[in-house]
Structure 1
Amino acid sequence: MNIFDQKINFDALLKFSHITPLTQQHLKKVYASFALCMFVVAAGAYVHVVTHFIRTALLSALVSLGLMIWLMTTPHSHETEQKRLGLLAGFAFLTGVGLGPALELCIAINPSILPNAFMGTAIIFTCFSLSTLYDRCRSYLFLGGILMSAMSLMFLSSLGNLFFGSIWLFQENLYMGLAVICGFVLFDTQLIIEKDYIWHCVDLFLDFVTLFRKLMMILKDKKKEMNWTSKLK
């Protein structure tokens, strides 16, 4: 039998029969909200790049932090669902605005960085999420303590690097951060039933944005290095 004549059964590939119907409904709401966040964050980034209506990343970061706190303190109920979705959309929009300066820097160096970073992020995020959803034993939950320890170590090394100014340490934190965020995609996806779908969407959204930012910075550094090398030649 010629294996190339066989058709891929996508229905079987995307079948999660081991997941309870209640959790499957929760998943649909989570990823529908996540898709909404992707559109809104893209709109926020576009508005910043085109109009520069908010020039300070600090302002957008503070307002988005306020929206997140508001979302956290708003009780989860059917009556507050629309309000919480609105807060989520506002948080996503301002997150996109906050990405604006980094996007402008990458566009100035090489516009191809952005689509490459986004495609790389989407592929990594999808692969890690699917691997978690297919896992029946919830074997990634042990990563929580390890990931938090790694985050603490990265935070301390970043503080230390303010005094040392080491490029090597900065790059090490960048790549380590990329690995840690991939771990958080596994961990957060496996906590499907532990939170309401809006707050779980926030976790996955932040994982995606942080992964995109890390990958974008790595590609930016690579492009700068290539441009500098070509100029020397």
Structure 2
Amino acid sequence: MEAFFEGQSGNWGYESLKNFRQISPSVQKHLKLVYLTLCSALVASAAGVYLHILFNVGGIITTLACFVGIIFVMNTPPSENRKRLGYLMAASVLEGASIGPLFEVILDFDPRILVMGFVGTSLGFACFSGAAIVSKRREFLYLGGLLSAGFSILFWLRFASYIFGASASMFNVELYLGLLIFLGYIVFDTQEIIEKAHHGDLDYVKHALTLFTDFVAVLVRILIIMVKNSEKKRENKRKKRS
């Protein structure tokens, strides 16, 4: 893996993209497990959304239960990966149920937004994660401090909106700033996972959970932005007709 990163000089051409064979076999295997587990978690989350649409189960309880499942994943030793995978899948289903109300609203508004939002998020995730993989080793790890600071700002903005009341401008700042932060986390977390794997940390369940959290955070914000933009277009059309 070290040879792979040292062989790159910031040139992300076709040769660098196809040159993954220079990553050590153990890291290659680890990345495959991480992304396979991530895909499984996304499927489980989709099942959670479907359960909410059928039985209206999503809400505060599923959100809290999701956090409990994440805590179980983080606190169960890696030697019990079967249990941890079960906890991860359960947390993913609960996460899907928790964001189910948003999906339900979008289905009533315009189902095409769900397809376009998921495809756009998947492409963006692949691009940002791929950029972290083909870049120089540790090149994006400096983003950790900046992203933590941005996340703190996001937290205090949300806290201020609870105290002083939310406004449209404040909501837009939180929405777009949050999207930018979590896109940055995709790059940072991917490179951190590779760096940890290089040093022997092959906990693919925890690493998949990290990327799953990033993916869902980006997806939710993209869907909200798309709904807002679509609603504005409809309003403009109505004004022109009237």
Q: Same fold (TM over 0.5)?
A: yes
Percent identity at matched positions?
Answer: 33
* Alpha-carbon distance, 1:25 to partner: 1.2
Name the residue aligned to 1:35.
39
Aligned with 2:78 (options 72, 76, 84): 76
1:160-171 equivalences in 2 (<5 Å): 160-162=160-162, 163-171=164-172
* Alpha-carbon distance, 1:12 to partner: 7.7
Indicate conservation of the 8 Å contact 1:64/1:94, yes or no.
yes
Matched, 1:222 2:222: no
Unpaired runs of 5+ residues, structure 1, are 1-9
Indicate conservation of the 8 Å contact 2:121/2:215, yes or no.
yes
Matched, 1:21 2:25: yes
Could you tell me which amino acid in structure 2 is paired with residue 208 of structure 1? F
Distance 1:224 1:131, change over 3 A: same
Quick check: 140-149 or 32-41, which moved more? Answer: 32-41
Name the residue aligned to 1:200.
207
Name the residue aligned to 1:184.
185
1:173-199: CA deviation from partner (whole Å, max 9, x where unpaired): 111111111100000000124251100
* Alpha-carbon distance, 1:164 to partner: 4.0
Name the residue aligned to 2:9.
none
* Alpha-carbon distance, 1:15 to partner: 3.3
* TM-score, reference length from structure 2: 0.86
SS of residue matched to 2:77:
coil
Number of aligned pairs? Answer: 220
Name the residue aligned to 1:93.
93
* TM-score, reference length from structure 1: 0.89
Name the residue aligned to 2:140.
140
* Alpha-carbon distance, 1:232 to partner: 2.5
Indicate conservation of the 8 Å contact 2:147/2:185, yes or no.
yes
Could you tell me how far apart the structure 2 residues matched to 1:22 and 1:164 are?
A: 51
Could you tell me how far apart the structure 2 residues matched to 1:14 and 1:33 are?
A: 23
Indicate conservation of the 8 Å contact 2:17/2:134, yes or no.
no
Indicate conservation of the 8 Å contact 2:118/2:219, yes or no.
yes
Distance 1:46 1:24, change over 3 A: same
Indicate conservation of the 8 Å contact 1:109/1:223, yes or no.
no
Could you tell me which amino acid in structure 2 is paired with residue 23 of structure 1? V
Quick check: 143-152 or 194-203, which moved more? Answer: 194-203
Could you tell me which amino acid in structure 1 is paired with residue 78 of structure 2? H
1:92-120: CA deviation from partner (whole Å, max 9, x where unpaired): 11111111100011122211111111011
* Alpha-carbon distance, 1:229 to partner: 2.1
Name the residue aligned to 2:131.
131
* Alpha-carbon distance, 1:161 to partner: 2.2
Distance 1:91 1:222, change over 3 A: same
* Alpha-carbon distance, 1:230 to partner: 2.1
